[in-house]
Structure 1
Amino acid sequence: MNKKKNTMLQLIESRKNKIEEALGNHASLNADKLIRVVSTDMRKNPKLGQCSPESILGAVIQAATVGLEPGGVLGHCYLVPYWNHKRQSLECQFLLGYRGMIKLARQSGEIANIEARVVYENDRFDICYGTESRIDHQPCLDGDPGLIKGVYGLAKLTSGEYYMEWMPLQKIEEIRTRSKSSNDGPWQTDYEEMAKKTVVRRMFKYLPVGDAEQKAAQKEEQDELGVSDPDIIESTGEVVNMSDHSQKQQVLTVNDLNKAL
């Protein structure tokens, strides 16, 4: 095991220039730091040491491209081992975290604030779409909040407009069960954070995020769910044309949200 781990680290070390190139202008990270993080993750999770070196390197380069540090207390992204049934071997998957998605969204400069919140059975919650779309969420502060009912995301654009997205638990579970790492990694250890990430990732399709961030989120989604068509909706498998603006949900005005909140 140690021999294979050393071989992986040697491979990654030999590709340091590629990692630096992928990092670009992300000054908060450098190749040496990423390599140290990978080495630490391998000690914490022995299964990573069993993954193919190529998949580990690919996941590291994906992390470098978006300037996010895997693991750690921030939970920006993760390196997750999964069993590739086709190749009959363990491979490493790059997986964005909720906070990583939030960071990517804010990098565009056009999103003033974005967040997702979990709704529980005993919360008071109401959502309405239409000319005066609104969300009314009052958490249960006393006693047992109950089971998770769903998750909603809310983004405020610098233009003053709002965009909201709601996903019931059933839809989140459909996505989790399709994930290649549904039974390992953050889906098991940080379910609520992954559920919130899933909602924010769906919002990316309609928000003014940068091309690089949009492509990063799209690639991560395709890798996680094992699909190659960017026009396949993750929750249903329905094929749609994402350039068709009729598919987009309504962006709310400040007045709409002021009435609701």
Structure 2
Amino acid sequence: MNDIQALLQSDKFKLSIQQRQALSPEDAAKFVSMFESAVRKNQKLLTCSPKSIELAAHKLADLGLTPVDTFNQIYLYHRWNDTVKSNECVIDVGWRGYATLAYKLCGTSIESDVVFEDEGFQCEKGTTTILSHRVNIFADRSEGKVVAAYAKATLPSGMVKYEIMTKLQIEVIKKISIEKNKKLTPAWVNFYTEMARKSVVKRLCKQLNELEKINSIIELENEEDYFESEPIDTSKTAAQRLTDRIKSNIQSKSSAAPAISHEERATLDASWREFEEGEELLPVRPEHEDCVVVL
């Protein structure tokens, strides 16, 4: 804890944030103060390695997201790393974070919501897609009553695109997350509806060629070494550096072989087969973990 406090109060750390977001010293200090406040909301984050705390802050700064936000752009939680035998601070970008980046980078407005039982929902597809959601403020809005999630993207041209996922499809994504992380992440435990919205937003982005930059950021979210190894080009703005990194990621993705093992592919294929066959997915209820939603 003392090491983390020393890190967050160091001039070197503040300077790194200032350079990454091209901020004034005063604004960089505000960023650090807000990030420190977000970390202190969860005492378990104070048990994380200082390096992971530093990388989490750098990741936020590089993506252009803020640590304290009324739009809930990110989640912070801790995860045990068997390699270094220590907890590490992990950032989970929420659907509102992707929506913010889509607007900043592509001029695209994204909305998303969840449909519950006892609510009216209708979607008609044709030359023009019509989606209607009649919200019932008295409906039971618990996880078990979720029926579907949907996302809407309004492109700069005015064209509107929709994506819908059923509860079963959302559960498949949740199960894949469990298999990838070896357990259910705190975000799925504490913020199921937000993760459902994130799932459908990510699927919508992947289907739109206009949002290639956002698709690249979705992949960057899982890169754990990028923010540690990339040097900072202080002659460029934060937005320019992020754009350069996105272009590099797109180029490397097109030329590199898929980074997935046969075992991982078999696991993913099995999960999708369960969905296609309509099998019931058993809910997983691991031990509760603390998670901070950045408000």
With normalisation by structure 2, the TM-score equals: 0.64
2:115 matched residue in structure 1: 119
Secondary structure of the structure 1 residue equivalent to 2:148: strand
1:221-236 maps to which residues of 2 (within 5 A)?
none
Kindly state the Cα deviation for residue 157 of structure 1 after the two structures are TM-superposed: 1.4
Consecutive unaligned residues in structure 2, runs of 5 or more: 225-256, 270-295
In structure 2, give the amino acid aligned to 1:209.
L
Secondary structure of the structure 1 residue equivalent to 2:221: helix
Kept after mapping to 2: 8 A contact 1:128/1:134: yes
1:173 and 1:143 map into 2 onto residues whose CA distance is 21
Task: Count the aligned residue pairs.
Answer: 226
Kindly state the Cα deviation for residue 165 of structure 1 after the two structures are TM-superposed: 1.0
In structure 2, give the amino acid aligned to 1:206.
Q
Structure 1 residue ranges, 4+ long, deviating more than 6 angstroms after superposition: none
Identify which of structures 1 and 2 has the higher relative contact order when contacts are C-alpha pairs closer than 8 Å and 6+ apart: 2
Kindly state the Cα deviation for residue 218 of structure 1 after the two structures are TM-superposed: 2.1
2:156 matched residue in structure 1: 158
Kept after mapping to 1: 8 A contact 2:121/2:133: yes
1:128-180: per-residue Cα shift (whole Å, max 9, x none)? Answer: 55555443333335554670012010112121212111122233233334164
1:237 matched residue in structure 2: 268
Matching residue within 90, 94, 99 for 2:91: 94
2:173 and 2:122 map into 1 onto residues whose CA distance is 23
Q: Does residue 201 of structure 2 align to residue 205 of structure 1?
A: no
Kindly state the Cα deviation for residue 54 of structure 1 after the two structures are TM-superposed: 1.6
In structure 2, give the amino acid aligned to 1:77.
I
1:191 matched residue in structure 2: 192
In structure 1, give the amino acid aligned to 2:220.
K
In structure 2, give the amino acid aligned to 1:118.
V
**CA spacing shift, 1:165–1:222, aligned 2, 3 Å:** farther
- Percent identity reads 30
In structure 2, give the amino acid aligned to 1:61.
H
Q: Does residue 136 of structure 2 align to residue 140 of structure 1?
A: yes
**CA spacing shift, 1:144–1:78, aligned 2, 3 Å:** closer
1:67-107: per-residue Cα shift (whole Å, max 9, x none)? Answer: 21124433122322112244432111121123222111111
2:167 matched residue in structure 1: 169
Kept after mapping to 2: 8 A contact 1:23/1:30: no
**CA spacing shift, 1:17–1:135, aligned 2, 3 Å:** same
**CA spacing shift, 1:167–1:221, aligned 2, 3 Å:** farther
2:14 and 2:185 map into 1 onto residues whose CA distance is 32
1:31-110 maps to which residues of 2 (within 5 A)?
31-110=28-107
**CA spacing shift, 1:107–1:135, aligned 2, 3 Å:** same
Kept after mapping to 2: 8 A contact 1:4/1:50: no
Kept after mapping to 1: 8 A contact 2:118/2:139: no
1:2-55: per-residue Cα shift (whole Å, max 9, x none)? Answer: x23324325x6424333223214x78x943222212321232211111111221
CA RMSD for the aligned pairs? 3.4
Kindly state the Cα deviation for residue 121 of structure 1 after the two structures are TM-superposed: 2.2
With normalisation by structure 1, the TM-score equals: 0.71
1:248-259 maps to which residues of 2 (within 5 A)?
none
